[in-house]
Structure 1
C-alpha cells in the first residue's frame, strides 16, 4: 500500500521480527528488489494484502522482441538471396558465417527476454 504521508512513517516504530531460512531470505530480498521496494516495505505491503508489481521495463522487453523480429527478417532475406543468386557477390562462406551470427544473436535476445 502506498504511503499516504509522512505522519504514517513516523508511526512505524514497532518492528516485526520474522524468522526465515537463508534461502527464504534470499527469495524475499530478490522479490523485493524485483518490485523496487525495500525488504521492509515489501513484507509490509504483502502482509497487508497488496500485490507488488514487478518493475521490469516492459518497453525494454518490447524493444528486444522487435530486434529479434528484425533479425529474423534479415536472416530470411539473406537466405532468399543465397537461394536466388548463389555464388555471386559476397562469398557464400561469409554469408553462412553471418547467418550463424544472426542465429546466435537471436538466441541471446530470446534468453534476455526470458530473463526479463
Structure 2
C-alpha cells in the first residue's frame, strides 16, 4: 500500500476524493437519523463508523445532563431532610410533612429511573 502523502501536510477534506456508498432512500434516512443523533454530518458519521471510532449520541449527553440536575435536586432534598431532623431532635414531625417529603423523594427517584432507562436505550 502506497503512502505518497505520509510526509506531507494533510490536504483539506474537500481536496481529497470522496467514497461513494450506494444506499436506498430508507437506508439513507436511517443513516441521516443516526448522524443527527450523534450531532455529526453524514460524511463525519460514515467516516467515524468506517474507521470504527466510537460514536456517541448527543442524546446521551443530554440524558447525563438531565440526570446530573435531578441528582442535584435529590441532594438538596436530602440536605433539607437532614437539617429538619437535626433541628427537631426527636420531637418528631407532623406525619403530613414527612409524607410530603417522602413523595418528593419518590418523584425524584422515579424521574432518575426514567432518565437512566432512556440513557440505557441509546
Answer yes or no: is 1:46 the counterpart of 2:49: yes
Answer yes or no: is 1:57 the counterpart of 2:57: no
Distance 1:20 1:34, change over 3 A: same
What do the CA deviations read for 1:27-69 (whole angstroms, capped 9, x no partner)?
Answer: x33432333211232123323x232331443973773474266
Structure 2: runs of 5 or more not aligned: 1-9
Structure 1: runs of 5 or more not aligned: none
Distance 1:66 1:105, change over 3 A: closer
**1:109 — aligned with what?**
112
Identify the structure with bigger relative contact order (alpha carbons < 8 Å, sequence gap 6+): 2
What do the CA deviations read for 1:55-99 (whole angstroms, capped 9, x no partner)?
Answer: 443973773474266268458748x679x433x4xx321331231
Alignment RMSD, CA only? 4.0
Return the alpha-carbon distance in structure 2 between the equivalents of residues 98 and 75 of structure 1.
9
